[in-house]
Amino acid sequence: MKKIVIAGSAKLQKEVNMWLDFFERNNYEVLDYPKSIEGQRFMELYPNIHIEFLKNVAKTDVLFIMNEDKNDIVGYIGYETYAELLFGLTQKLIYNKDIELIVLKMPSRNVGCYDEINLWLELGWIKLLYKEENNEF
């Protein structure tokens, strides 16, 4: 059974739950995923949740970037998700980890890391799950 970590915005819990269900039905072991943290306890809980998340990225076979549309931005990737992707890529390139890096869809040009995503796709370091031009997975 392949292990997977889902990265993306914790504010998109409906989408997180959909992808959790999808991967579990397809025989993946989900090691971690974006979790919503209660506002009043955010500063208390966030450090350990984030550390555990990165430890799970180091253990996983697949890092899936769930870059669903958010705030009217197609393929939104926030700074934290970009950092998690970069951490996965570092594992792959520097430590020769056999990790598959999958981005749900191409982000729009106004996403801060658009150029890097485009370059990494061209280099074959990451893959797109959904190819919009063909309307296919």
Every domain of the chain and the residues it spans: 2-134
CA 40 to chain CA centroid, nearest Å: 26
CA gap 101, 49 in Å, rounded: 21
For the domain 2-134, what is the CATH code? 3.40.50.450
Question: pLDDT tens-digit profile of 39-58?
Answer: 899 999 999 999 999 999 99
pTM: 0.94
pLDDT at 5 over 80: yes
Q: Please name the amino acid found at residue 126.
A: I
Contact criterion met (CB below 8 Å) for 76 and 70: yes
Contact criterion met (CB below 8 Å) for 7 and 35: no
